[in-house]
C-alpha cells in the first residue's frame, strides 16, 4: 500500500538482491507474502552474479579449455596456441551475466516481487530510509538483511590509488593482461583469478602471510592444486607480509617483509584477495536491536533471526562460509520462518569448491578438524591413478577421500580433488545429510567408467572390499 507519495509499506522487505536476497524474496512471494526487494544495483544478482561466482567461472572455463588442449598433446592431438581476444572475452562474460540477470528479473517480476533501486538505511525496527531512490521510506512487518560482503583492503598500508591495484571485482573487469601480476592472498579467489591470468599469459607472483595455501582444505587434498599453481605461477612467497605499496603510471612497487629477507619489486598490476568483510556498517543498525560481532557479522540464531524480532539476516553478512549456496538456503529459511513455517538452517555439510584445474571440493568434517577436536575418525583415500576414467582422461593426480566414524561407518566428511569434482562433491553432501554409512555409499551402483566410482571405491576400502586397489590386510576367512 502506498502511504503518501514517497513512503511504501510491505510485509517483507529484502535488503540486497544477491543469492541470499533473491532466494528469500522468491520463497516469501511463493508463500503468499507481499515482498519488496531493494538493492543499490539496478539488477538482481549481487556480488555473485556481477563480481564473483559467475564472471570468475566464465573465465575459469576458458583456462580449463586451454589446459585441456595442452593435456591432449601427449595423446596425439596438438592444437595451435590459442589467439586471445580480450574484447571478445569481456563480451562473452558480459553476455553470460546479462542473460542470467534477465532471468532473475523475469522470475522476480512474474512472482510479483517489487524491485526498487536504492541504498537502505534503518530508521528503526520497522522502517528504512532509501538513498538514491524516488521512494523515500519503506515501512515493513519483517526485513531480511542480505547485504553481503566486500573485499578487505590491506590493513596498515596506504597508497595513492592510480588503478593498478585491484580487488577481485577490478580483476574480473579484465583491464588488460598484465605482463607481471602480484596476487596477495592464498585462498580460493587468489588461486582462481591467478589461474585465469596465468593461463592468459601473465607472469603471476603470489604472496601470502601464512605458510600454506587454502587453509580450509586438508593439505593432501590441496596438494595437486598447489603443484599445478606452482607450475603455472612464476613465484611464491609464503610467510610474507606487505609493508608498502607505491603506485605510479608504469607499475606498482611493493615492499615485502619475508621470513628471512626484505625486498622490493615492481609489478604491472597487484590484486588484493586477502579476505572479505560484511556490509553491515553505515546502514543504521544502531536504530534497531540487531547485534553484530566484533568483526561486524550480524548475529543470528538457527532460524536466521537477529536480536531484533522483526529483522532476519542471511548470506555473507552473517558470516560462516561466505558462499552463494549457503546464502540460498539461509534465504529460504528466513522466508519460511517469517511465513510461520517450522524451518531452520540445520545443514550438516556446506560444500566448498575451488574451480581451478584441478578442482578441490570438500564438505562435512575435514581430517584436520577431526584431529584438532581429537575426534576419533577413520580416513580412507582412493588415489585417481587407480580410476579407469581418470586414466582415460590423463588426470591421474586426483584424490577422493572420506572421513568415517570408525565405530558405525557413518560418513562424516568427504574431500575430492581432480578434474570436475564440482558435481561429485554433492553425493558426499547428500550422504552426510542423510546420515549415510559406508555400506550405503559402497552398495550404491556407480556407473563405469566414471569419476563417481571413486566414491564407491573409497567406501569399499573402509569395508575392506575394494576391487581396484589391493586390500591393506588379507581377511582371514574360515578354513575348510
Ligand atoms: P551479495 O551477493 O554480496 O549481495 C549483496 C547485495 O546487497 C549487493 O547487490 C549489494 O548491492 C546490496 N546492498 C549492500 N548494502 C545495501 C544497502 N544498504 N541497501 C541496498 N542494497 C545493499 N560463492 C560460491 O558459492 N561459489 C563461487 O564460485 C564463488 N565465487 C566467488 C568468486 C569471487 C571473485 C567472489 C568475490 C565471490 C565468490 N563467491 C562464490 C561468494 C559469493 O559471491 C557470495 O557468497 C554471495 O554473493 C553472497 O550472497 P549474499 O546474498 O549474501 O550477498
What's the rounded mean pLDDT across residues 144-161?
89
Closest-CA residue to 134 (of 231, 10, 262, 6): 6
Q: Which of 29-33, 248-252, 314-318, 435-439 bottoms out in mean pLDDT, i.e. has the lowest? A: 248-252
Distance of CA 179 from the midpoint of ligand 1 (Å): 30
What confidence tens digit (pLDDT) does each residue in 269-295 have? 999 999 999 999 999 999 999 999 999
Task: Judge if the beta carbon of residue 194 lies within 6 A of ligand 1.
Answer: no
Is 296 exposed, middle or buried, given 0-12, 13-18 or 19+ CB atoms closer than 10 A? middle
189 Cα nearest atom in ligand 1 = 34
Average pLDDT, the chain: 95
283 lines ligand 1 (CB under 6 A): yes
Average pLDDT over residues 115-120: 98
Give me the half-sphere count of Cα atoms (radius 13 Å) on the Cβ side of residue 85: 4
pLDDT exceeds 70 at position 475: no
The torsion defined by the Cα of 69, 74, 79 and 80, in degrees rounded to 10, comes to 110
Examine the pLDDT at 1 and tell me if it is beyond 50: no
Q: What's the chain's length in residues? A: 480
- Ligand 1 atom closest to residue 20's alpha carbon, by position in its atom list: 51
For each of the domains in the chain, give its residue range(s) and CATH number, in order of start. 7-150+277-338 (3.50.50.60), 165-274 (3.50.50.60), 352-463 (3.30.390.30)
**316 in helix, strand or coil?**
helix
| Residue 19 Cβ contacting ligand 1 at under 6 Å | yes
Please identify every residue annotated as catalytic. 448
356 lines ligand 1 (CB under 6 A): no
Q: Ligand 1 atom closest to Cα of 39? A: 21
| The predicted structure's pLDDT at residue 259 | 87
pLDDT for residue 359 is more than 80 = yes
Q: Tell me the per-residue pLDDT of 416-439, one tens digit each, with 9 for 90 and over.
A: 999 999 999 999 999 999 999 999
pLDDT, one tens digit per residue, over 35-58 is 999 999 999 999 999 999 999 999
Ligand 1 pocket: which of 122, 189, 324 to mutate (most atoms within 8 A of CB): 324
User: Which residue has the least CA distance to atom 28 on ligand 1?
Assistant: 53
Amino acid at each position: 500500500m502506498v502511504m503518501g507519495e514517497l513512503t511504501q509499506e510491505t510485509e517483507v522487505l529484502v535488503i540486497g538482491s544477491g543469492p541470499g536476497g533473491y532466494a528469500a524474496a522468491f520463497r516469501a512471494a511463493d508463500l503468499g507474502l507481499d515482498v519488496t526487494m531493494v538493492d543499490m544495483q539496478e539488477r538482481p544478482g549481487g556480488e555473485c552474479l556481477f563480481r564473483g561466482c559467475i564472471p570468475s567461472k566464465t573465465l575459469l572455463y576458458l583456462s580449463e579449455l586451454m589446459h585441456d588442449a595442452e593435456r591432449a598433446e601427449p595423446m596425439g592431438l596438438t592444437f595451435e596456441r590459442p589467439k586471445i581476444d580480450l574484447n571478445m572475452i569481456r563480451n562473452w562474460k558480459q553476455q553470460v551475466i546479462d542473460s542470467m540477470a534477465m532471468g532473475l528479473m523475469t522470475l522476480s517480476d512474474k512472482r510479483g516481487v517489487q524491485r526498487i533501486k536504492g541504498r537502505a538505511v534503518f530508521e528503526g525496527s520497522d522502517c528504512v530510509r532509501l538513498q538514491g531512490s524516488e521512494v523515500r521510506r519503506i515501512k515493513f512487518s519483517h526485513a531480511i538483511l542480505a547485504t553481503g560482503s566486500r573485499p578487505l583492503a590491506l590493513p596498515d598500508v596506504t597508497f595513492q590509488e592510480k588503478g593498478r591495484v585491484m580487488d577481485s571485482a577490478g580483476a574480473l573487469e579484465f583491464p588488460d593482461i598484465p605482463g607481471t601480476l602480484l596476487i596477495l592472498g592464498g585462498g580460493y579467489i587468489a588461486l582462481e583469478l591467478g589461474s585465469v591470468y596465468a593461463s592468459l599469459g601473465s607472469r603471476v607472483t603470489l604472496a601470502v602471510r601464512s605458510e600454506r595455501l587454502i587453509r580450509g582444505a586438508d593439505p593432501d587434498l590441496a596438494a595437486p592444486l598447489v603443484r599445478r599453481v606452482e607450475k603455472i605461477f612464476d613465484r611464491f612467497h609464503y610467510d610474507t607480509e606487505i609493508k608498502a605499496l607505491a603506485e605510479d603510471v608504469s607499475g606498482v612497487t611493493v615492499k615485502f617483509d619475508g621470513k628471512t629477507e626484505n625486498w622490493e619489486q615492481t609489478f604491472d598490476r597487484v590484486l588484493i584477495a586477502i579476505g572479505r568483510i560484511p556490509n553491515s556498517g553505515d546502514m543504521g543498525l544502531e536504530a534497531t536491536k540487531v547485534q553484530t560481532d566484533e568483526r561486524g557479522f550480524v548475529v543470528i540464531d538457527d532460524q536466521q533471526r537477529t536480536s531484533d524480532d522483526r529483522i532476519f539476516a542471511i548470506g555473507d553478512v552473517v558470516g560462516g562460509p561466505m558462499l552463494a549456496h549457503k546464502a540460498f538456503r539461509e534465504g529460504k529459511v528466513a522466508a519460511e520462518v517469517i511465513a510461520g513455517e517450522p524451518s531452520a538452517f540445520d545443514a550438516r555439510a556446506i560444500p566448498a569448491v575451488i574451480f581451478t584445474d584441478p578442482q578441490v571440493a570438500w564438505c562435512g568434517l575435514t581430517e584436520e578438524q577431526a584431529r584438532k577436536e581429537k575426534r576419533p575418525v577413520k580416513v580412507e583415500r582412493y588415489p585417481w591413478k587407480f580410476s579407469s576414467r581418470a586414466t582415460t582422461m590423463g588426470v591421474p593426480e586426483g584424490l577422493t577421500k572420506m572421513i568415517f566414524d570408525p565405530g558405525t561407518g557413518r560418513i562424516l566428511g568427504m574431500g575430492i580433488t581432480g578434474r570436475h569434482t564440482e558435481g561429485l562433491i554433492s553425493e558426499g553432501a547428500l550422504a552426510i545429510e542423510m546420515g549415510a554409512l559406508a555400506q550405503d555409499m559402497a552398495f550404491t551402483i556407480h556407473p563405469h567408467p566414471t569419476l563417481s566410482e571413486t566414491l564407491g571405491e573409497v567406501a569399499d576400502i573402509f569395508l575392506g572390499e575394494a576391487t581396484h586397489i589391493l586390500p591393506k590386510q588379507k581377511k582371514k576367512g574360515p578354513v575348510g
